[in-house]
Each structure stands twice: as structure tokens, then as C-alpha cells.
Structure 1
Amino acid sequence: MAEILDDLDSRPGSATSLLRTTVGVSLRELGGWIALPHLLELMAALGVSAPRARTAVARVKKRGLLVPEARGKVAGYALAPDATGMLERGDRRIYHPRTMTPDSAWCALSFSIPENRRDQRHQLRRRLHWIGFGTISPALWIGPEYLADEVEEILGDLGLREYATVLISEAPRVEGSLAEAVARWWDLDALRAHHEEFLAQHEADIAPPAEGLGPREAFGRYIRSIDSWRVIPYVDPGLPPELLPADWPGERSSRLFRTLHEQLAEPSAAFVRQAFMHKTQS
């Protein structure tokens, strides 16, 4: 169920991804339920037409994030019962990404899964990549120790715990430098591209003074920035800066996201509340 809710395939910037981000940011503040006209108004503020928004709602509903729930004569959607835990886990990743230090422990996962369970083996590798693990070999993966609980959760979800061993250790011993090994285990070029794309898309979004930015525009900028950012703290595990290239853009992109959050979160929430009150009173 966790993978269905997390939806690893939504492309940032798509109507479906923007809807998921809107739900994750706003729906809990509204009590876990939203009327369809209100939801369509929020999507319109993101430049998503009503037909595209309705298609996105159908896809998100199929994924299990939202469930239809009418209140009186008003059609609407509620968070699925299993969604809150996933969203809270996402909050920790998005707003409080962690970074390893030179003294941080590591977590390695070794597994040997029977061929008749190869589909689960594929899902395991896919989800390990999604939480930021690197690949030493096809059956040996590595990441920060602080992701060990998520590894255990994935193994439990897939029913593969009996086929895996989780190892917690100090810095791995490798031939050559650990920085060279890290560059083999992770696709640092791909991670760099995520950070640089976020910077290119949103460095110009640093908000002007509050009086120059309306709540609707703040909402649009805020949701789009989170939608672009939210993948990064998953695929980038927060490797120690000492093991990364000197010009690594991770801190710049993290600092930009923190600034956008500080400037836009409250006016964005104000727009959501205003739109909600308008719809409930009309």
C-alpha cells in the first residue's frame, strides 16, 4: 500500500503531480476533506484546467490517495485512511532533509530472493532507489543509517524480510577512497541534475515584498516549488559533503527551498483558506 500512496511515477509539473502536492500540502489543514469545486479552484490557480484536473483526480483516486465522499449534496474527496502516515513521512523528507556527517553510521542491505519472487525483487530495488540507497552490487545496497527504518518498512510491505539482512556499520572499507566508491554506488550526475534543475526553475521565484505578491500567486509559486523539490530529498540521501564534489549544488538548492518555504507558506495557506470559505459560503 505504501508504494501506491507514494506514487513513484508522477512526473513533477504534471497535473497529477501538482494535484498530489496540493493534497499533501493543503488537505490536512482543511480537516482531511475537500469539496470538488474547491479542489478545482485550487488547481485552476496552478494553471490546470478543470478537465485536466478531473483526469488527475481520477488517477490519484485510483492510486488510493483520495476516496470519494459527499457531504450533504456536495461532492468531494477525503484522504484515504492510510494516507496520513505517508504524508507525515513525506513532510519529514521534504521540510527536514537530513545530511550525513563524517561520523555517521551506514546501513547496508544484502538480499537473496528466489526467482519465483522476482517481481518483488524488482520492486525492492525500485523502492530502495526511491529512498536514496546506492548500489554496491545488484543484491547489496547501501545508504545512511537513518534510513534503516524505511528499509525495514519496505521489506515488510513486500513480504521479503526473511530473504534480507540489514547491516549497520561505520564507514565502509574500500579500495581507493570512499569518495570514489560513493561515485560508483550513486549516480551523482543524475542527483546533480535534480538540484540544478530546481535552482534553474525557482531561483527567480524568490518572492517580492508581501504587498507585491497576492495570495493566489503565492499559492502557485509555493505548490510548484514543493512539487519540483519533493523528489530530491528522496533520491538524494544526504551524503556527507566531504564525499561529494567541491561544487556540489545540494546546499544551494536546500537553502533556496527553505527561503521559498519561509516566504510563501503562510500566504499560500491564506489563499487556500480564503478559497475554502468562498466555496463553502457560496
Structure 2
Amino acid sequence: MNTVSAQEPGSGAGPLGKVQPRQLIVTVYGLYARDTDGWMSVASLIQLLADLDVEAPTVRSCVSRLKRAGLLEARSVSGAAGYRISSETERILRDGDPRIFAARRATVDEGWVLVVFSVPESERARRHTLRTQLTRLGFGSVTAGVWIAPGHVHDEAESMLARHGLRAYADLFRADYLSAGGGDADELAAKVRSWWDTDRLQRLYVDFLAAHRPMAERIATGAPVTDRQAFTTYIGVLTDWRRLVYLDPGVARELLPGEWSGTHARELFDEMHARLAGPAHRHVERVRGRRHPAGGLSERPSGRS
């Protein structure tokens, strides 16, 4: 996906550090524009970002940069100036939905997928793209040209290589871990810690819990929360969570540190999503000036990122 802290909307810092307004704009578009053909008016976007303490000139500047990057496209609807997400942005958001809202954790016996690649020095830009995309899919580095991920990531990796024109530089293998010690869980867990920085990820999950648990507990006790407060809190939680889950490789729980905070962080996110998504959406609909059906909106968790 912040930020807006869960304790104090608009504070500007989440557990992963200060969130850029551009990241908040992507979160807002991902959550609330896809049910309007990916479009949102500039006026609505400015008002929603004002709720997150982002000033109008900053919003306009960030939107312009997103347009130049090909992530947004200018379009007027019924005389209102606005932007819609590009087809590539729509694909990125759609691909990210399962990871954000229903991430799968691997099992020990499902094996691994290896990407073995070699990109000439003259094509360093392609090498950078390849490494960036592998990281985004949760791959860890075994050596410079050999990257690894849980076996269920195979289809995503194949699709990514084809989409970016990188298939000629990489080979994919399904693999089991073998060693002189028989590949037992303790030995494999040590390897996992060398392929991924699980200690850092653990700290980030702890920080996420510290940042957002106080507000979650307040809400759970029935403290009143307005739709606007729900929106600012939810955008903050989701933006932080979105950035965290792309760092998590999703390896089997048995291969992670014993006191793994990622499990508790997932539970907290799911709880806040269930409680805040509906009223946050009501606030957005009110800002966009659309009639809201009696009884509120359903949450539709699997279709938003």
C-alpha cells in the first residue's frame, strides 16, 4: 500500500517510515476507482487527500507524475476533469488483491520455484527490472543469478517474465531442498534466513502492530468512529499493510522464527478491514456525491487493493 497513523489520522508516518502522497493516491484509486471504470474526478481526489492532510498542489503534482509514468490517464466525464487508472495499473492492482487480502502461506512439502537468469552488462536496465519484479513477487536471492520462492509463485513468475519481455534471459525450475543433513526443517529454516531478511520483516510486523493495535482496540470496545475517521484510519492501515506484504515471501510457518508477529499482524489487518472498509466507502461515496443505498455498502474485500 502509510502515512496516516492509526492512532492519529494524518500524522504522516507509518511503521515503514514516512509515506509519500503518491502512495496514498494509489491506495485511494485502488480501493475506490475501480467500481467507476477506474475513474475519479480531480475534485473528489483533492477532497479525499485533504482528509489525509495532503494539500491540493501536492495532489496535482503527484497526479501529473503518475500520468507521466503511465499509471493514470486524463479523462473528463460529464464535464468533470479527472483521471482513470491505465490498463497496466488495473492489472497491477488486480494481481495485488490476493496478496493483500488473502495471502497464501506455503507448506513445507510443496517445494520451491527457482529463477536462474543471466542478463548482459549492456542491458542493465532489463536486469534491474527483473530483480525488481522478482522482489515484488517475494523471491529471495540464493546467489546473484539464482532466486527462489515458494512453489506456488511459479505461475506469477512465468507471467511476469513474459509480460516484461524477460523470458529469454531466465529459466524456471521446480525444486526440492536437499542437503547432507537430509534437508530437515531446522536446516532449511537457517537457509530461509539467508535468502530473506526475516529478522527485518519480523521487526516491521512488530512496528505495524504497535502503530495500529491501539486504534483496533478502541474500535473493538465500541468507541464511536465517524465515516471520515474510518476512511483516514483504513487508508493508513491498508497502505502500511500493502507495503509489508510485498516484503513477505510467504514461506511455510515452520521455517519462520518461533514468535512470528506476521500472524498477529494479519489478524489485526483482517479485523480492521472488516470494521472499517464499509464506513470508509460510505465516506468516499459521500464525497463523490453519489446516493448511498439504505443499510450501507458491502465490503467486497477480494476486489480491492
Q: CA deviation at 1:122?
A: 2.4
Q: CA deviation at 1:250?
A: 0.8
> How many residues are matched?
269
State percent identity of aligned pairs.
Answer: 35
Q: One-letter code of the match for 1:191?
A: L
Show the counterpart of 1:99: 105
Q: CA deviation at 1:11?
A: 7.4
The 3 A distance-change label for structure 1 pair 80 and 158 is: closer
Q: One-letter code of the match for 1:190?
A: R
Alignment TM-score, normalising by the size of structure 2 = 0.82
Residues 51-106 of structure 1, C-alpha deviations (whole Å, 9 max, x = no match)? 22222212222222211111243211112133222111111110011101122221
* Most deviating of 23-32 and 39-48: 23-32
Q: What is the SS of the residue equivalent to 1:230? A: helix
Show the counterpart of 1:182: 192
The 3 A distance-change label for structure 1 pair 137 and 51 is: same
Show the counterpart of 1:200: 210
Gaps of 5+ in 2: 1-15, 182-186, 292-305
Does residue 48 of structure 1 match 2:45?
no
256, 263, 277: which one aligns with 1:251: 263
143, 147, 153: which one aligns with 1:147: 153
User: How far apart in 1 are the matches of 2:190 and 2:121?
Assistant: 33
Gaps of 5+ in 1: 1-9
* Most deviating of 233-242 and 115-124: 115-124
> Does structure 2 retain, via aligned residues, the 8 Å contact 1:104–1:144?
yes
Show the counterpart of 1:120: 126
Q: One-letter code of the match for 2:278?
A: E
Q: CA deviation at 1:240?
A: 0.9
Does residue 26 of structure 1 match 2:32?
yes
Residues 134-170 of structure 1, C-alpha deviations (whole Å, 9 max, x = no match)? 1110011100112112212232233221232101123
User: How far apart in 2 are the matches of 1:66 and 1:159?
Assistant: 23
Q: One-letter code of the match for 1:130?
A: R
Q: One-letter code of the match for 2:213?
A: E
User: How far apart in 2 are the matches of 1:132 and 1:265?
Assistant: 27
Show the counterpart of 2:294: none
> Does structure 2 retain, via aligned residues, the 8 Å contact 1:107–1:166?
yes
168, 172, 175: which one aligns with 1:162: 168
1:2-17 alignment runs, 5 A limit? 13-17=19-23
User: How far apart in 2 are the matches of 1:158 and 1:79?
Assistant: 19
* Most deviating of 86-95 and 67-76: 67-76
Q: CA deviation at 1:183?
A: 0.9
* Most deviating of 259-268 and 232-241: 232-241
